[in-house]
Structures are given as structure tokens and as C-alpha cells.
């Protein structure tokens, strides 16, 4: 999810980077406020029932992602 930027800027960045996954836009910041995002990037780990089990703020590497996934799987 991109916070606070216009669609055209986000689309240009995604194209430059070759990103093919969907990017949600939160131009007003309302969603980020609702989820209490304190920094970017923020990652949420959601279990099979759709419940947020963990939240991590900051860049992540593969080992850290695996660690969080092992906790919820």
C-alpha cells in the first residue's frame, strides 16, 4: 500500500521497478491512520483466519520474514 501519493506517481514508480503485484493507494492516509502505521515500510502477518498476528515496522530480509511466518503457521 502506498500512503499519501497520487496514482500517477505510484504507477510510474511501479513501472520503473517492474512491479507486477497490485499496489493499493491510501492517498488521504485514512487507512494508515486506522491501522496505526508509525513508519514505512510496515508489514502485517495475518493467519489463515484473517487475524493479524504480528506487525513489523522497517525493512525486512528473508530470514526475518521466515521467523515471523514460523510463529504463525
Q: Digits of tens for pLDDT over the chain (73 positions)?
A: 999 999 999 999 999 999 999 999 999 999 999 989 989 999 999 999 999 999 999 999 999 999 999 998 8
Domain ranges of the chain: 1-35, 38-73
pLDDT of residue 68: 95
Q: How far apart are CA 4 and CA 21, in angstroms?
A: 19
Segment 35-41 long-range contacts (CB within 8 Å, at least 24 positions apart): 37/3, 40/3
pTM exceeds 0.75, yes or no: no
Amino acid at each position: 500500500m502506498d500512503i499519501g501519493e497520487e496514482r500517477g506517481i505510484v504507477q510510474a514508480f511501479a513501472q520503473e521497478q517492474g512491479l507486477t503485484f497490485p499496489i493499493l493507494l491510501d492517498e488521504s492516509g485514512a487507512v494508515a491512520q486506522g491501522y496505526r502505521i508509525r513508519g514505512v515500510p510496515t508489514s502485517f502477518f495475518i493467519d489463515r483466519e484473517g487475524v493479524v498476528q504480528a506487525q513489523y515496522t522497517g525493512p525486512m530480509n528473508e530470514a526475518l520474514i521466515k521467523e515471523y511466518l514460523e510463529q504463525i503457521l
